Amino acid sequence: MTPEEALPMLRWLRILVTLLAAVMGLGVLVIAALLWLRLSEASLPDLPDSITLPDGARAEALTFARDWLVVVTDSGEVLLYDRQGRLRDRVQP
């Protein structure tokens, strides 16, 4: 094949590579936009105004469940609070 015969194929290849680069760039922009939209949403649930821990207990961890707040104390005790901040259950270690 002579160079003159290869020119149309090289042009076609150049167009394909350019289109591929444009589609990949657009895909990266779409993924970045989706991440930005998803991560910019506030994700904390509604919390009660206050939670009263038992005497001498210090909170080490707090976890949000659908209808519960779970507090793990420094002694390993698990305290279950409802959404109004009332203590509902205690689990000893």
- Element (DSSP H or E) covering residue 7: helix 3-39
Strand partners, 71: 62, 79
Q: How many domains does the chain have?
A: 2
Residues 32 and 66 in one domain: no
Is 70's pLDDT higher than 80?
A: yes
Category of 3 on φ-ψ map: left (φ > 0), alpha (ψ -120 to 50) or beta: alpha
Expressed as residue numbers, the domain containing 58 is 45-93
Is 48's pLDDT higher than 90?
A: no
**Residue 62 sits in a domain of what CATH number?**
2.40.10.360
Write down the pTM of the prediction: 0.54
Residues 29 and 64 in one domain: no
Residues contacting residue 59 through CB under 8 Å, at least 6 positions apart: 53, 71, 72, 73, 74
Q: What is the pLDDT of residues 16-44, one digit of tens each?
A: 999 999 999 999 999 999 999 988 877 77
Please report where in the chains the tokens 């038992």 appear, as a residue.
54
Percent of the chain with pLDDT over 90: 51
